[in-house]
Structure 1
Amino acid sequence: MKSLEDTCIHCIMNSIQEIPHIKEKLPRIYKELLLMRLSEHSLLTPDVMECVRQQLFVSSLQHLQLYHCDQVNDQFLKAFADSRRQLKTLIIEKCDVSDVGILAVTHKQKSLETLELKNLIHLTPKGLGNVKSPVLRTLNLKGCTQMNSKGVLTVLQNNPTVEVLRVAGQGNHKYDDLLFHDIAETVGPTLKELHFAPHTISDACLCVLATRCPNLQVLSLYGCPRITGGSLLKLTQGCTSLRNLDLSYCVQLSHSPDNQSLWTLPVTLTTLSLCGIMLEDKEILIEALQRLRNLQSVRLCGIPCLDDDTFTQIMEKRGSSLVEIDLSGMRKKDFTDEGLRSISKYCTSLEILNISMCHEFTGESLIPLLEDPNRAQHITKLFLSSRKISYEVLCAAAMHCTNLRSLDLGGVGCVDDHLLCLLAQNTSKLQRLGIKGCSKVTDMGLCTLSGSCQDLAFLVLSGVNNITDKTIFCIANNCPYLEEIYLNGCKQISTTTLQYLMDYCVSSVYIQHVTPNLAPEQLMAKNLDTGEFCRVDQIDYSTHNSHKRRIAREELVEL
C-alpha cells in the first residue's frame, strides 16, 4: 500500500490550488518531491503553473528532477531560473526543452554536483554554455542525439572535476575518436567512470585513456571491434584501480596473440564481461578467470570454449566469491546441467543467476542450491526463461528464495497460477516479474501475487491473454509503486482501466499495450457485494432488475 508520505503528497498534488500557504507549511524536500510528481503525472497545466510559481519556486530548493513531461518546456525552466537558488542536482529527462531552457536553468549555478540531461532531442552543444560548477561530479548526456564532440569537450573544460561521464547517444551520435583523447587530456586524473556505448573507439584512444586516466574504475568497451591485445595490456597496466570492465564483443581478443592479454587483467576487477568473445582456447579462459581473486560478477555468454569441464574448473576456484553469474544465450550441446551442478557445489554467496535462453538446461542440478536454507536467502535475481526449465526448479525457487526481488520466466510454458501463489506466499519483496507468453496464468494468480508483493515496480505480462481488467485493478490498488508494465496481446484489458492505473500509482507508469481486436465499449466496475471487478457492459439489466423484483416480492410474502 502507499506510504502515508506518498498518500499525503498525492492528495496535495491533486488539490494544490485549493490548499493555502503551501510555501510556508511544506518543508523544502517535499516541495522538491511535489514538483517531481506534478511533472511525472503531467499536471503542470497553465492554471496550476501560477500556483506552482508562487508556492513551490522557493530559493531554498536544491534538487530539481523532472521526468517525461511535455509541459516541462523552455517557458517552465525560464520561470524556474534564479541564480539565487543554488541547485545541487538537476535532472531533466524526456521533456520538451531546448538550448534556451537549459541555458536559463543552469545560469550561475555554482553548486551543481549532478547534471543529467537525458533524451533531450532538441539540446545542442550551445545549450551547455552556462554549465560551470567547480563541484560538478556527474555528467549524463545519454540520448541527446544532437550533441557532438565539441559540446562534450566544452562542458568538460568548464567543469574539470567530473568523475562520472556518460556521453552515449542513441544511434545518431556525433562523437569522433578525438573526443576520447580530449576527455583524457581534460578530466583524466579525476575521471572514475566512462560510459559511451554504442560508440566504438580505436586502439590509439584506449592507449590515451590508459596513460591519462590512472584512477579509472569503470569502463565499458562493449562492441569495440578495433580493440587489440596490445591496447588492453596498456589499459590494465595504466589503470590499476579498474573494478568494472566490459569487453563484450571485442572480437579481436578471440584469437592469438591478442587473447593472451586476458592473462593480464588487473586482479582489482570485481565485475567482468566477456560476452561474445569467440574464444577457443580453454586454458586462457580458465587461467584468466582463476587469477581474478576479487571477482564477484562474471558474464560468459556465447564463449565457444565454455563447456561442462571448463565451467566446473572456473567455479571450483572462483565460485565461492561470485555473487552474479550470467550464462544467458548459451546453447552448446557440451554445456549441460552437469556443468550447472558446479554452481550448486561451489557457490556459497550467489545472488544473481541468469540462464535465460539456455535451451539445454532443465536447471534440476540447481535444486540443492535453491533448497539450501542458507544459500537460498542470498538469491535476489533469477532469470530462468528457458523452454526446458523444470517446474520443480521453479517451485523450489518460489518456496525457498524468500528475498527474491527479480524473476524472469518469459516463455516458460509450465508457469501457472499455483506457481504465482507460491511466490505470493514466500517472496513478498518481489519487485520485477516477467511472465511473457505464460498462457496458463489467469486473473486469480496475478491478483493473489499483487496482494502480497506490493513493491512490484516492473511487470511483463505480454501474451498472457487470459487476464482481464480485474488484474489491472488489483495491481493498481495493491502496487502503487509500479513503474513499467507490458501488456501486448492482452486483448481483454481496456484502456479505461489503464488510465485508472496511471492515475493511482505514485510515479508515472510506462504502459505498453498493443493489442488487436480490443473489445469496444468495454467498461469495468466493482461489485460492492462481492468485491469482484466485472464487465458492466455485459450485464443484462432487464434480467437483473426482474430478479431484484422477485426477491422483493418473496420478502414481502414472508412479512
Structure 2
Amino acid sequence: MRGADLINTKLPADIVACIFLRIAGSKSDCDAFSLVCRRWLAIDRSFRATIRIGGSGRADEVVSLLVRRFSGLRNVCIDERLPVSSVHQILPYPSRSRSKRRRLNSSSGDHHLIKSSVAGESEFEQFCLTDVGLSSLANGCKALQNLCLIWCPNLTSSGLNSIAENCKFLKSLDLQGCYIGDQGLIAIGQNCKLQDLNLKFCEGLTDTGLVGLARHCGRSLKSLGIAACAWITDVTLEAVAFHCSSLETLSLDSELVMNKGLISVAQGCRALKGLKLQCINITDEALEAVGSFCSSLELLALYSFQRFTDRGLSAVGNGCKNLRDLTLSDCYYISDISLESVARGCPKLKRLEINGCHHIETFGVENIGKSCPELLDLALLYCPRIRNSALHEISKGCLHLQALDLVDCSNIDDEALCSIAKGCRNLKKLHIRRCYQVGDHGVISVGENCVSLTDLSLRFCDRVGDEALIAIGQGCPLQNLNVSGCHQITNAGITAIARGCPGLICLDISVLQNLKDIALAELGEGCPILKEIVLSHCRQITDAGLAHLVKGCTRLETCHMVYCPSVTSSGIATVISSCPSLKKLLVEKGKVSERSKRRASSILSYLCVDL
C-alpha cells in the first residue's frame, strides 16, 4: 500500500538483517542500504565486516569513530598511502545536521592542507596513525580476523600488544612498512593463532621477534612474507622450519639469507606449495634441497639470481612434479638444459614467465610446448634469442593457452603469431611490445581465429596498421586495447574498433600522430561504457573531439592527455563537466583554468608542474 512502511512494521530485525547479508558483498549496495532509514543504518553498522581507510590525517580520531559506529568489523585495512579524502567517503552521515556536516567538511579541508604543507617531520607525524588509534581498534573490534597496516611508521609494539590482548581471533596480519619491534610480534604469537603474516620492509624486527612468534603460533602459520628486514637471518628460517610444519607459502627477499636457512625450510616445511625468492646468496645446493623435499610445490618464483645454475633448476624440475606456476626473472646462468628438465618433469605447468634470462633460447620453450599441454599463460619478456619455432610448438601442444605476453622478442614475426592464432583459439589476452617484426598479417589472423580475445596490447609495434584493427574489430569482443606508438594506425582503425567493440572499457591510443577528432567522435558513439582512455601525444586531437568523446562516454573515470597541443583549457573543462565519475585527469598544469582547479582539484594530476 502506498505510503505504508510494510517492511519496517512487519519484518523483524533479524529478517531484515538476513536480507542485508545477501547484499553485503558490494560496498555501494551497503551504502545505499544504510541511507534508507535509521533502522537500516543500525543494521548496516552492526553487520559491516570490511573497511579500508587512509592512515594519515587525524587517523586516531577516525579509527575511534569507526569502531564506535561499526561494531562487527572483521577485516580492517589502514593504508598510510591512501588520500585523506578517502577516509571520510566511507562514513554515512544521514542523521547529521547541516552544521555538523559543515564542521566535518572543514576538518577534511584542514587535512588536505596538512598533506600539502611543507611542515617538518615531527609536525607531520602527529597526524598519522599511532598506538592510540590501534588500541581503540583493538578494544572496539574483538572479532577482528584480518588486519592490514601499510606504511604506518608511528606504530610500536605497544599498539600491537593491544591487538594481541584483545583480538584473539586474528588470523591474518600485514605490517608492510611498519616499524614494529620484536615484543609486539611475540605478543601476537602468544595470543593469536595467526595463519598469514606479511613483514615486508619492517626494519625494526630482528630474529628474536620472528623466532618468538614461530615458537608460539608456528603450527597455525601457513603464509609468511619477509622482505628488506635488515636483521632477519638464517636463524629465523631455522625456527620457521622447526615450528611451522604447516607452512604453505613463503616469500623471501633478503641479502642475508644463505643456503642453510632455505635448506632448513625445505626439510622442515614439507607442505610448502608456494615459494618466492629474491636472495642473491642462494646457490644450487639450496634449490636441490627444494627439489628433494618439497614435492607438493606448485608455485616457484626466482628473481635476480646470480649464483645458481641449471643444476639447481633441473633438481626442481625433477622433484616438483606438481609445479604449476614458474617465474624466472633475471636468472643469468640458466639455459635450455634446465627448462627442458622442467618441461619433462612438470607436465601440469599452467603458467610460465621467462624474464631477462638471456641464455634461454628456442629449444627450451619448444620443450614446454611438447610436454606441458595444460599451459594457460606464457610470458616471454626480453628474450631476444627465442625464434618462431618455439611458438610453433606452443601452438601445437598448448591448445588451451589463454594469455601470451611478448616483450622485446626481436626474432618473433607474423609467422609465429599466425601459428598461435590458429592453434590456440581460446586466447583471451595477447600483449606484444616492441616486437618489430610483427605486423598486420599476424594480427589479422588473431582477429579471424581468436573469438574470445578481450585484452589486446600492441605497444610500439610500428608495422601494425588499420587493417589489423579492422580484423580485430570484426572478430573480437575487446574490453582492453593498447596501440600506443603504432604510428601506422589512423582514424580508420580506431573507427573499426569503436563500431565493432561496444564493450570496450580501457583504451590507450597515445602517440598516434595521425589520429583526428573523427576517431574520438566514433568512440563516443560506439563505446558507451569506456572508463579509461589515454590520449597523450596525439597532436591532432582538439577540444571538439573531446566534446564528442565525453558526450557518449559519460562513465569515463580516467583520462590522460598530456602533450596534446591543440587541447585547451576549454576542452579540459568540457571533460570535467561531462564526466561525473571522473577520478583522474592527467594534463599539463598550465592548461587548467582557475575555475577547473576549484571545481576538480581532487582529480587533477600534473605530469609537469611548470612547462
TM-score in same-fold range (> 0.5): yes
Counterpart Cα distance in 2 of 1:108 and 1:477: 49
Q: Which residue of 2 aligns with 1:354?
A: 431
Pair 367,233 (structure 1): closer, same or farther in 2 beyond 3 Å? same
Return the match for 1:308 from 357, 381, 388: 388
Distance across 2 between alignment mates of 1:457 and 1:150: 49
How far apart, in 1, do the equivalents of 2:367 and 2:403 lie? 19
- Contact 1:340–1:363 (CA<8 Å) still a contact in 2? no
Measure, in 2, the Cα distance between the counterparts of 1:98 and 1:46: 11
CA distance in 2, matches of 1:352, 1:221: 24
Counterpart in the other structure of 1:73: 129
Q: 1:287 to 1:212 in 2, by over 3 A?
A: closer
Alpha-carbon contact 1:128-1:151 (below 8 Å) kept: yes
Q: Which residue of 2 aligns with 1:400?
A: 475
Residues 58-94 of structure 1: per-residue CA shift (max 9 Å, x gap): 1x22111334336661243222113862223223334
Residue pairs, 1:121-270, within 5 angstroms = 122-123=179-180, 127-132=184-189, 136-142=194-200, 144=202, 155-157=213-215, 158-169=217-228, 174-178=254-258, 179-181=261-263, 183-184=265-266, 188-197=269-278, 201-254=282-335, 261-262=341-342, 264-270=344-350
Q: Which position in structure 1 is the counterpart of 2:169?
A: 111
State which of 438, 442, 465 in structure 2 corresponds to 1:390: 465
Q: 2:555 aligns with which of 455, 468, 479?
A: 479
In 2 relative to 1, CA 174–222 (structure 1 residues): closer, same or farther, beyond 3 Å? closer
Q: Say how many residue pairs are matched.
A: 499
Q: For 1:43 and 1:20, locate their aligned partners in 2 and report how far apart those are by CA, in whole Å.
A: 29
What is the DSSP-based 3-state SS (H/G/I as helix, E as strand, rest coil) of the residue aligned with 2:330? coil
Q: Confirm or deny: 8 A CA contact 2:339 2:365 kept in the other structure.
A: no
Summarize deviations over 1:419-458 as a string: whole Å, max 9, x none.
Answer: 5555454445444433332355567756875787676666
Aligned mate of 1:329, from 401, 404, 408: 408
Q: Distance in 2 between matches of 1:407 and 1:306?
A: 26
- Equivalent residue in structure 2 for 1:341, among 412, 418, 423: 418
SS of corresponding position for 1:300: strand
1:521 aligns with 2:594: yes
User: Is the CA contact (8 Å cut-off) linking 1:331 and 1:359 kept in structure 2?
Assistant: yes
Alpha carbons 1:337, 1:365 under 8 Å: kept = yes
Given that 2:467 and 2:493 are in contact with CA atoms closer than 8 Å, whether structure 1 keeps it comes out as no
2:76 maps to 1:64:
yes
Q: 1:221-272: per-residue Cα shift (whole Å, max 9, x none)?
A: 13212222222222233322211011233221127x6666455441121111
Cα distance per residue 1:179-209 (max 9 Å; x no partner): 53454466x2333223344867322332333
Whether the aligned pair in 1 keeps the contact of 2:383 and 2:408 (CA below 8 Å) is: no
Residues 153 and 183, structure 1, Cα contact 8 Å, conserved in 2: no
Q: Distance in 1 between matches of 2:445 and 2:136?
A: 61
Query: Cα distance, 1:518 vs. partner?
Result: 3.9
Superposition deviation, residue 135 in structure 1: 5.7
Give the distance between the partners of 1:282 and 1:439, measured in 2 at CA: 36
**More relative contact order, 1 or 2 (CA 8 Å, 6+ apart):** 1
Partner of 1:274: 354
Cα pair distance change 1:121/1:95, threshold 3 Å: closer
Return the alpha-carbon distance in structure 2 between the equivalents of residues 407 and 309 of structure 1: 27
Structure 2 regions of 5+ residues with no counterpart?
Answer: 1-23, 85-126, 232-252, 600-611
Matches of 1:130 and 1:450, distance apart in 2:
58
Q: Does 1:293 align with 2:391?
A: no
- Alpha carbons 2:527, 2:553 under 8 Å: kept: no
The amino acid that maps onto 1:93 is I
Q: Percent identity?
A: 20
Deviations 1:488-542 (A, max 9, x none): 54685879979979x9659xx5x5847464455363899xxxxxxxxxxxxxxxx
2:173–2:196 contact (8 Å) kept in structure 1: yes
Q: Which position in structure 1 is the counterpart of 2:454?
A: 380
Change (3 A) 1:280 1:393: same
Question: What displacement does 1:220 show?
Answer: 0.5
Are positions 1:26 and 2:106 aligned together? no
Q: 1:134 to 1:450 in 2, by over 3 A?
A: farther
CA distance in 1, matches of 2:408, 2:453: 21
Query: Secondary structure at 1:231's aligned position in 2?
Result: helix
* Partner-residue secondary structure (3-state), 1:338: helix
Distance 1:443 1:281, change over 3 A: closer
CA contact (8 A) 1:167 1:196 kept: no
Structure 2 residue aligned with 1:434, among 508, 520, 525? 508
Alignment-derived partner of residue 553 in structure 1: none
